């Protein structure tokens, strides 16, 4: 009897038709993820599994690591049914990243237990500046998404180092913090995650500004379903969400939720979707704030941030956002010297 070859999951019937249709879908564009740690590699895999890009490039200073991860990811394509090719580039090279439409910067030292985000600034500033300068050289038309910590400062530094228009450099902050807030509320109430809507603005750190007035559960205001003290508890837990994960892991930091946030932002850029997302974007007059990178809602498309979207805030929430802006402004001014 002739060999029929190995059986792969999903290769029969309707599933086979689906995979054939996916293979015929047009794919275009290149996205580069800088940094092949847990965060970067998970982001690369999420982007590849979207199956909308022609190529995902994963780079790292370590020789062989991104190449090995890329090979492993590519070997999952017949099982998961995606065609996007993942390319690994090690040794600190940017060969193969040229002409990227989107670049996600995950490179940098991860936060360790007891370490504040500001403890990271000098080390990560050197790394991010080097990465940004290489991006400017190899992909001068790219949209840059920064996820390296301290996030607000590194986003400002990446814009200075690339000298890109400010709308083409943004940071991943509110997407992650909002997801954490949503999950915390859902867990508190035993509610479906999909029934909860939350929002966080401000900085990615101590001056994060959760926005309870814009939060709902099954369409009902959060303040109608939870007492003020429980909301404040969930706000505090959200603000310290990263530290909570770090403390439990003992080594390393969060990467599943952060990678999902960064990947969704990159997808919105490539699809020119116009999706409104909470991100770290340049603010120039909105909410009475100017001249600073800050966590706000923004409409995302192929040019990066199309516009900052001003939503309704209570007086205390607006005051918190303006306070966050001033705190971040001072830190971002220091980054210019790095």
53 with 94, same domain: the answer is yes
267 with 288, same domain: the answer is yes
**Helix or strand holding residue 185 (H, E):** helix 174-189
100 with 220, same domain: the answer is no
104 with 200, same domain: the answer is no
Chain centre to alpha carbon of residue 296: 14
Is position 6 within any domain?
no
The residue assigned the tokens 């990178």 is 293
Q: Which of 122, 153, 171 is the last residue of a domain?
A: 171
Is position 48 within any domain?
yes
CATH number at residue 59: 3.40.50.720
Query: Catalytic pick from 46, 65, 129, 204?
Result: 204
Q: Residue 155 and residue 140: Cα distance in Å, rounded?
A: 17
- Give the pLDDT of residue 113: 62
The predicted-structure confidence for 185-217, as pLDDT tens digits, reads as follows 999 999 999 999 999 999 887 889 999 999 999
Three-state DSSP at 197 gives strand
pTM of the model: 0.90
Is position 1 within any domain?
no
| Position 2 pLDDT exceeds 50 | no
Tally Cβ neighbours within 10 Å of residue 64: 12
State the chain's mean pLDDT as an integer. Answer: 90
Q: How many domains does the chain have?
A: 2
| Helix 174-189 × helix 241-249 angle, to 10° | 80
Q: How confident is the model at residue 71 (pLDDT cuts 50, 70, 90)?
A: very high
* Domain of residue 51, residue span: 13-171
Q: Average pLDDT in the 164-174 region?
A: 96
204 included as an active-site residue? yes
195 with 75, same domain: the answer is no
Q: Which of 128, 144, 171 is the last residue of a domain?
A: 171
Is position 137 within any domain?
yes
90 with 211, same domain: the answer is no
Task: Give the helix, strand, coil percentages of the chain, each rounded to 5.
Answer: 50, 20, 30
| Position 12 pLDDT exceeds 50 | no
Chain centre to alpha carbon of residue 15: 31
Q: Which of 126, 144, 171 is the last residue of a domain?
A: 171
Is position 5 within any domain?
no
| Position 10 pLDDT exceeds 70 | no
Is position 257 within any domain?
yes
Q: Average pLDDT in the 306-325 region?
A: 96
117 with 193, same domain: the answer is no
The token pair at 10 is: 């999903």
Q: Residue 221 and residue 223: Cα distance in Å, rounded?
A: 5
Q: Average pLDDT in the 282-310 region?
A: 97
22 with 134, same domain: the answer is yes
- Give the pLDDT of residue 92: 96
Q: Residue 265 and residue 102: Cα distance in Å, rounded?
A: 10
17 with 139, same domain: the answer is yes
Tally Cβ neighbours within 10 Å of residue 225: 18
161 with 212, same domain: the answer is no
Is position 38 within any domain?
yes
Q: How confident is the model at residue 142 (pLDDT cuts 50, 70, 90)?
A: very high
Instruction: Return the percentage of the chain with pLDDT > 90, whole number.
Output: 78
Q: How confident is the model at residue 1 (pLDDT cuts 50, 70, 90)?
A: very low
- Give the pLDDT of residue 122: 80
Is position 50 within any domain?
yes
CA distances from 330 to 30, 210, 291 (A): 35, 21, 11
The residue with greater pLDDT, 337 or 276, is 276
The predicted-structure confidence for 242-255, as pLDDT tens digits, reads as follows 989 989 998 888 99
């Amino acid at each position: 009897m002739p060999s029929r070859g190995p059986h792969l999951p999903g290769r029969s019937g309707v599933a086979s038709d689906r995979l054939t249709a996916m293979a015929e879908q047009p794919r275009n564009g290149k996205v580069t993820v800088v940094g092949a740690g847990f965060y970067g590699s998970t982001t690369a895999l999420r982007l590849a599994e979207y199956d909308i890009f022609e190529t995902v490039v994963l780079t790292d200073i370590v020789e062989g690591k991104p190449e090995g991860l890329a090979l492993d990811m590519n070997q999952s394509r017949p099982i998961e049914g995606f065609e996007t090719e993942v390319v690994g580039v090690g040794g600190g090279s940017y060969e193969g990243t040229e002409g990227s439409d989107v670049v996600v910067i995950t490179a940098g030292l991860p936060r360790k237990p007891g370490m504040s985000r500001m403890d990271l600034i000098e080390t990560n500033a050197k790394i991010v500046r080097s990465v940004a300068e290489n991006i400017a050289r190899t992909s001068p038309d790219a949209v840059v998404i920064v996820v390296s910590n301290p996030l607000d400062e590194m986003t400002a530094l990446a814009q200075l180092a690339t000298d890109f228009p400010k709308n083409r450099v943004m940071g991943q902050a509110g997407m992650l913090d909002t997801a954490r807030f949503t999950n915390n509320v859902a867990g508190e109430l035993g509610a479906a995650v999909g029934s909860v809507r939350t929002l966080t603005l401000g900085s990615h750190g101590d001056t994060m500004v959760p926005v309870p007035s814009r939060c709902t559960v099954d369409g009902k205001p959060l303040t109608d379903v939870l007492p003020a003290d429980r909301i404040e508890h969930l706000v505090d837990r959200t603000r310290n969400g990263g530290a909570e994960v770090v403390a439990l892991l003992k080594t390393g930091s969060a990467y599943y939720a952060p990678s999902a946030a960064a990947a969704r932002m990159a997808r919105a850029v490539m699809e020119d979707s116009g999706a409104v997302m909470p991100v770290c974007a340049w603010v120039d007059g909105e909410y009475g704030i100017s001249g600073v990178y800050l966590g706000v809602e923004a409409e995302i498309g192929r040019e990066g941030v199309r516009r900052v979207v001003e939503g309704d805030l209570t007086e205390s929430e607006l005051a918190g956002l303006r306070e966050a802006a001033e705190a971040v402004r001072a830190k971002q001014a220091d980054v210019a010297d790095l």
